[in-house]
Amino acid sequence: MTVSLQKFKVKYPSGFEDAVHLTKGELEQQVLLMAALKMFELGKVSSGKAAELAGMSRAAFLETCGRYRVSIFNYPDEEIETELQNDLATLERLGL
């Protein structure tokens, strides 16, 4: 499957890449990664879509979430208890 790519421009102060010790290409990649991490953390996109934006595999993105302390469990607070109860019920049915 071929994915159509779009471009957009980001304005930043002259010399910013030097201030953060990155090349222009590295800065672009870092901005995309930070955007992907934050949108995933906020539940705006799936881990797969976030990985696509960051230009990496889903597995690599999930590993990166750990490095940046972004939880890969994006359940709304009210759903966490229900999910845990369902998991416990499944374990009981399996005899575990």
Cβ(71)–Cβ(65) under 8 Å? yes
Residue 88 pLDDT exceeds 70: yes
- Do residues 17 and 27 lie in contact, with contact meaning Cβ atoms separated by under 8 Å? yes
Cα-based distances in Å from 23 to 34, 54, 87: 16, 17, 46
Q: Which of 31, 29, 49 is nearest to 40 (CA)?
A: 49
pTM: 0.73
Structure tokens at 51: 């990985």
Is residue 19 classed exposed, middle or buried when 0-12, 13-18 and 19+ CB atoms within 10 A define those classes? exposed
Model pLDDT for residues 21-48, shown as the tens digit of each residue:
999 999 999 999 999 999 999 989 999 9
